[in-house]
Amino acid sequence: MAEKNYMEVAQSWLNGDFDPATKSQIILLRNEDPAGFEDAFYKNLEFGTGGLRGIMGVGTNRMNKYTVGMATQGLANYMKSRIEGPLSVCISYDSRNNSKEFARITADVLSANGINVYLWDNIRPIPLLSYSVRSKKANAGVMITASHNPKEYNGYKVFWNDGAQVTAPVDKEIVAEVNKITDPSQVKFKPGEDAAPIQLMGKEMDDKYFNDVLSLTLSPESRARHSDLKIVYTPIHGSGVRIVPEALARMGFKNIIHVPEQDVSDGNFPTVMSPNPEEASALKMAIEKADKEGADLVMATDPDADRIGIAVRDNEGKMVLLNGNQTGSILTWYILTRMKELGRLKNNQYVVKTIVTTPLIAEIAASFGVKCYDVLTGFKFIAAVVKAHEGKDEFICGGEESYGFNVGEYVRDKDAPISCCFVAECAAWAADQGLTLYQLLQNIYKQYGYRKEGLVSLVRKGISGAQEIQQIMKDMRQTPPAQLDGSPVTKVVDYLETEKTGLPSSNVLQFFDAAGDVVTVRPSGTEPKIKFYFGAKGADADEKIARLKEQLVK
């Protein structure tokens, strides 16, 4: 957009029906940060297939009460045009700055449009939002969160009536309606006399969630024998603080050790560089606490409590971090092992993983005679499989390499609270066998073969960067690698070829070799980067990952 255009857009905000504080911030930004001023107004913050996510502040390209209101009006218009009868939406929010305000604005706009609202009374994780949509039989849900992004960000995720994030074609249809809202004057911000009610949800819904998800657990005797298991848990300043300790207590665990500084719900995330349990630095304080207290296990969740990071003690007693593939593999093996021991395995059950998640999960499932479905990256695709099989086949569990996992059908997204419960229960069950979680993982590797995963993200910004990413994908399609670290490539999967994969078309390539290794190449859908996922099998898998990176990432 040319300079005069963004200046004109900003001036329209200064001349328009915007609150005085917003206008003052626009003037301040214009005077003190010309580059930031341009970025704030040069385009509209894009409402994508998952909703909104962006930096908070004034302007059309920022998360603020006006862009949130416009997104909500578009959602309301879509619902009213497509769904008959009384309409309802559940709303939750996390501890990020402005999350509560954005949730209230969302509730008011929906109410003003005659849509019933169920609003959580305080911060709650994504799994509680998903659960409440299903419990209330609502038509949709909205979660105010930017997941594990830096503190400057917030976001707006839309869920549908199955409790999962929206997928095609509904996602694109909602985007089209949101794009029709071009000015805040089109938004019904204030509920009038004919507004629909806004009802609060709280402890009663929490209790229903606890009762349902904890009914899925498998080893009450082990939990009772090891109720004194020392567990350090940190919500990293997020919404898990209201759910995870309570869930573990209801499981019978009596020795939950907190990191008091990180129990504080604070959108500035003051004790970490990033509130992301995938990053070792986010668990630093919890591991220090574990060493001080002699704890057996560390668990951390991100601000919206859908991802879990864990650390366990190795054979020398040192705390080591497990990645999402390792945690997902342990939980899948444990759940299937216990279900088999309890006589609960049937021929209509299945697990699900994403295509960039370790093949070990599929191998574990196959060894128990359980089907494993592969889906595109994103938990909404796991949820879509569950929805497609609802009432016919039973979803056991599913996960993705980016630290997301879920058990059972009550929640249709990543569920860190239930993942924490199963990790703790698995640790208690392993203790009954005289094993630690670390040793349990080593036993899994002994049975199925050692695996190692790696990820490299190449950042390429701007138009030239986007062109470079396109060229990388084009070159790899035209000239795929003939071998991976010397082992011949036996299969190439191009996920643009939906008739061959049976999945929605996606710009992803996978290369499999004779040694059991796999490399996936995938441009990010939300950031200016291309990702290389590496999975190696064999005793030298660690060294092999390093060689694969050197071979393919230039």
Separation in Å, CA 448 to CA 399, 515, 541: 19, 13, 13
Query: Within a 10 A sphere around the Cβ of 502, how many other Cβ atoms?
Result: 8
Phi-psi region for residue 494, left (φ > 0), alpha (ψ -120 to 50) or beta?
beta
Looking only at the bridges linking them, the beta strands covering 394-400 and 349-354 are: parallel
- Residue-wise DSSP of 520-537: EEEE-SSSSEEEEEEEEE
CA distance 329 to 364: 8
CA distance 312 to 423: 11
CA distance 501 to 62: 37
Q: What is the DSSP letter of 58?
A: S
Q: Report residue 353: phi and psi, to 5°.
A: -140, 165
The residue among 395, 407, 437, 345 whose CA lies nearest residue 214 is 407
Cis amide prior to 169 (ω within 30 degrees) = yes
Contacts of residue 475, defined as CB under 8 A and 6 or more positions apart, other chains included, come to none
CA distance 543 to 156: 41
Instruction: Give me the sign of the Cα torsion angle 328, 229, 306, 270.
Output: negative
Side chain identity at residue 315, one-letter code = N
CA distance 71 to 69: 5
Phi-psi region for residue 307, left (φ > 0), alpha (ψ -120 to 50) or beta?
beta
Separation in Å, CA 58 to CA 63, 149, 321, 329: 8, 19, 39, 44
Active-site residues: which are they? 147
